[in-house]
Amino acid sequence: MINYIIRRLLYVLPVLVGVNILTFVLFFVVNSPDDMARMQLGDKHVSQAAVDNWKQQRGYDLPLLWNEQQQGLQRLEKTIFFEKSVGLFVFDFGVSDNGRDIMADISQRMWPSLAIAIPSLIFGVLANITFALLLIFYRGSYLESSGLFLCIALMSISGLFYIIAGQYFVGKLLALTPISGYVPGLDAFRFIVLPVFIGVVSGLGSGARWYRTLFLEEAAKDYVRTAKAKGLSELEVLFRHVLNNAMIPILTGIVVILPSLFMGSLIIESFFGIPGLGSYTIDAISSQDFAIVRAMVFLGSFLYIIGLLLTDISYTFVDPRVRLD
């Protein structure tokens, strides 16, 4: 087990290096730092001195991959690639293009993101499972087919619609919750309700269908037939057997996205003006702050891989047949 985890953690390294090279190519090779400087400084007719100054402040005045002017290993180390990438591996994200410390920003903005993401996940899973169980319970009736159609219809509505309609009807017309904004502390509750609710509703269609297929697969198994044959009621079968055994895929499905919760939801956060990591990323994209975008890419892929690893480990906990070695 320990060996397996260590091996998997070692496997994370090449993936992260790959991610790094990819983003590096995207950001620095396609466009030279000069282009970026001109874009940041706004004007096309910026003087070369200003560009050089901008580059030097941010450490972009080095060669990209190979420094001819240095000796020995320094040739590799005194380059943009090395300087900008190595820091990422020890989670030193450096300074953003507008001069703020990225790590401090992230650790501060993480909390609002989690405040939205965790309740959304919990209530989302509960709502999806309930809906899926209802679909299974009324199998073969008109209730099921109309429920399935409802799922598809819910899936077909753009996520933006849920947000805009929710803000308009709940926030503006009924004035039950603030339309957008955030305050730290317990008072945040008022601001969280609506985004969480919208997150749950917008995921209901696809989520319920996904859980339904899990339950259906489980319900087709022999032990379910046995349980029914010995006279258990449909409800008892559903809760005691089907739900219990479907817990394995449900749990592992949740574990895989747990780490990524830190990243927040891009769209919901920026619509509701929540100062989390999602809106941080969106702001960085729209202000074209490459340092932040790179840091977030790195963080996102790191968390994704950790999620995969946690999934494998969680299998051993919920399913005694699985052994990792």
Contact footprint for other proteins (CB under 8 A): 14-15, 18-19, 22-23, 26-27, 30-31, 35-36, 39, 44, 152-153, 155-161, 164, 167-168, 172, 263, 266-267, 270, 281-282, 285-286, 288, 290, 293, 296-297, 300-302, 304-305, 308
| Alpha helices, H only, 169-221 | 188-219
Three-state SS at 129: helix
At its nearest, how many Å lie between other proteins and the CB of residue 85?
A: 15
Cβ-based nearer residue to other proteins, 74 or 145: 145
141 burial (CB, 10 Å; 0-12 / 13-18 / 19+) is: exposed
Length of the chain: 325
- Contacts with 146 (C-beta within 8 Å, 6 or more apart), sequence order: none
At its nearest, how many Å lie between other proteins and the CB of residue 52?
A: 18
Cβ-based nearer residue to other proteins, 42 or 320: 42
At its nearest, how many Å lie between other proteins and the CB of residue 288?
A: 6
Cβ-based nearer residue to other proteins, 39 or 258: 39
Cβ-based nearer residue to other proteins, 75 or 178: 178
- Contacts with 100 (C-beta within 8 Å, 6 or more apart), sequence order: none
At its nearest, how many Å lie between other proteins and the CB of residue 111?
A: 20
CA end-to-end distance (rounded Å), the chain: 6
Closest CA to 264 of 281, 254, 278, 285: 278
At its nearest, how many Å lie between other proteins and the CB of residue 207?
A: 15
Cβ-based nearer residue to other proteins, 75 or 137: 137
Residue that has been written with the tokens 């180390």 in this structure: 77
